[in-house]
Amino acid sequence: MRFNAKDLALLARRPSGCFDKEGRLKICRVVGDEKLIEPRERWCRLKGNLLFLMKNKSSEASEVVILERCWIVEFRSKTDVSIVLKFQSGEPDLYLEAASKPDCESWAVALGEANSEGLQNKIQQLRRLIMEIKEERSSDEARQFLPSSQVDSLGELQFTSIQRIANEPKLEFSLACKDLVAATRDRKLNTFIQVSVVHPAEHILTRYSSTEIVEGTRDPLFLTGVTFPPEYPIYEETKIKLTVYDVKDKSQDTVRTSVLPDHKEPRADVGRSFLGCTTFRVGDLVKSKEQQLTLTLRTSDGGKTVGTIEVNLVKMGELEDGETDHITTDTQDQKCALVRECTATEGISGKDNLPSLNAVLKNPICKLYRFPTSDNKWMRIREQMAETTLSFHVPKELINLHIKEDMRRNQELKDLGELAPHWDNMRRSVIAHCDQMLSMYQDTLAELGKHTGSSFKSSCSKGEKTLEFIPINLHLQRMHVHSPRLKDALYDVITVGAPAAHFQGFKNGGLRKLLSKFEAERRNTGYQCIYYSPENTAKAKEVLSNINHLQPLISSHADLLLNSASQHSPDSLKNSLKMLSEKTELFVHAFKDQLVRSALLALYTARPGCVLKKPAVPRNTAEEGGDDLQHQDHPSQIKRQDSIPHHSEYDEEEWDRVWANVGKSLNCVIAMVDRLLEKDNISHIKEGENDPSAADCKLLHTGSDWYEQLYPLVITLKDCMGEVVTRAKQSMAFVLLQELACGLPQCLMLTLRRDIVFSQALAGLVCGFIIKLHTGLHDQGFLQQLHTVGLLVQYEGLLSTYSEEAGMLEDMAVGISDLQKVMFKVIEAKSEDFLPIITGRREHYIIEVQLPAKMFELLPQEIKEGKLLRMYPVLFNVGINEQQTLAERFGDTTLQENINQENLELLKEYYKLFTEKMPPDCLPHFQEQNDLKGLLENLHQNIQAKKRKNVEIMWLAATICRKLNGVRFTCCKSAKDRTSMSVTLEQCSILRDEHQLHKDFFIRALDCMRSRQTQGALNESDDPETGCLTDNKPTSRHFYPVALLLVSSHLLVVWLILSLALLLAKYQ
Within the chain, which residues score under 50 in pLDDT? 1, 138-139, 141-157, 252-270, 319-353, 612-648, 694-701, 703, 923, 925-927, 1015-1048
Quote the pLDDT of residue 328: 40
Entry pTM? 0.73
- C-alpha separations of 884 from 423, 712, 981, 1056 in Å: 49, 72, 16, 12
Tell me how far apart the alpha carbons of residues 519 and 533 are, in angstroms, rounded to a whole number: 9
Query: What sign does the dihedral 874-880-883-889 (CA atoms) show?
Result: positive
Quote the pLDDT of residue 970: 96
Angle 548-549-554 (CA atoms, 0-180°, nearest 5)?
Answer: 105
Tell me how far apart the alpha carbons of residues 651 and 614 are, in angstroms, rounded to a whole number: 7
- Computed on alpha carbons and rounded to an integer, the radius of gyration of the chain in Å comes to 36
| DSSP calls for 836-855 | -EEEEETTEEEEEEEE-HHH
Q: Which of 720, 972, 988, 1008 is catalytic?
A: 972
| Eight-class DSSP state of 235 | B
Cis peptide before 745 (omega within 30 of 0): yes
Tell me how far apart the alpha carbons of residues 368 and 208 are, in angstroms, rounded to a whole number: 14
Tell me how far apart the alpha carbons of residues 1029 and 461 are, in angstroms, rounded to a whole number: 11
- C-alpha separations of 5 from 20, 55, 89, 94, 1039 in Å: 21, 18, 22, 22, 47
CA atoms in the 13 A half-sphere facing the CB of 304: 10
Quote the pLDDT of residue 253: 44
Query: In a 3-state reduction of DSSP, which class is residue 166?
Result: coil
Task: Please enumerate in sequence order all residues whose Cβ is within 8 A of that of 620, keeping only pairs 6 or more positions apart, or say none.
Answer: 656, 657, 660
Tell me how far apart the alpha carbons of residues 450 and 278 are, in angstroms, rounded to a whole number: 47
Q: What are phi and psi of 867, to 5 degrees?
A: -65, 135
The question of whether 529 is a catalytic residue gets the answer no
> Burial of 197 by CB count in 10 Å (0-12 exposed, 13-18 middle, 19+ buried)?
buried
Task: Please enumerate in sequence order all residues whose Cβ is within 8 A of that of 459, keeping only pairs 6 or more positions apart, or say none.
Answer: 472, 473, 497, 973, 974, 975, 976, 1025
Cβ atoms of 518 and 743 within 8 Å: the answer is yes
Q: What are phi and psi of 535, to 5 degrees?
A: -65, -40
As a whole number of Å, the end-to-end CA separation of the chain is 29
Closest CA to 559 of 571, 545, 546, 573: 573
Cβ atoms of 314 and 369 within 8 Å: the answer is no
Tell me how far apart the alpha carbons of residues 52 and 39 are, in angstroms, rounded to a whole number: 16
Chain Cα centroid distance, residue 809: 18
Quote the pLDDT of residue 688: 53
Closest CA to 799 of 636, 978, 539, 1037: 978
Quote the pLDDT of residue 121: 67
- In the structure, how many helices (H) and strands (E) does the chain have? 28, 31
Quote the pLDDT of residue 1062: 66
Cβ atoms of 26 and 96 within 8 Å: the answer is yes
